[in-house]
């Protein structure tokens, strides 16, 4: 499996500047790796108001169980929400906290 180099802050900056892509080949590898973390560690976005509000959530460890919603983490901008998911998944995979 692809290993993320946490010192590659250039890739973090690339994502932060353009969370919707398109991504460079290297950033695509990082994003795909972040999508493969175990379900119980995976943060996701739930659209809570169609096209205008997204809430951060965490997948359950058991299929069919309810997702854990973070009601204090509500976003009106999808890019901001995507940045937050990226930061949390980055931390899960690398152990490094992004600002």
pLDDT per residue as tens digits for the range 42-89: 999 999 999 999 999 999 999 899 999 999 999 999 999 999 999 999
Neighbours of 20 (CB within 10 A): 9
Inside any domain, residue 99: no
Q: Is residue 63 part of a domain?
A: yes
Q: Note down the domain range covering 30.
A: 9-94
| Any domain includes 48 | yes
The pLDDT, as a whole number, for residue 9 is 97
CB 4 within 8 A of CB 94: yes
pTM: predicted TM-score of the whole model, two decimal places: 0.94
The answer to whether residue 90 is domain-embedded is: yes
In a domain, 3, yes or no: no
- Judge whether residue 1 has pLDDT over 90: no
pLDDT score recorded for residue 99: 87
Tokens 């998944």, located at residue: 89
pLDDT at 76: 98
């Amino acid at each position: 499996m692809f290993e993320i180099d946490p010192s590659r802050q250039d890739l973090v900056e690339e994502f932060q500047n353009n969370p919707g892509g398109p991504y460079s080949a290297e950033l695509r590898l990082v994003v795909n790796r972040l999508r493969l973390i175990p379900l119980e560690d995976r943060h996701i976005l739930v659209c809570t108001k169609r096209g205008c509000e997204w809430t951060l959530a965490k997948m359950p460890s058991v299929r069919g169980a309810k997702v854990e919603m973070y009601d204090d983490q509500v976003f009106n901008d999808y890019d901001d929400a995507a940045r937050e998911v990226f930061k949390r998944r980055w931390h899960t995979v690398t152990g490094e906290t992004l600002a």
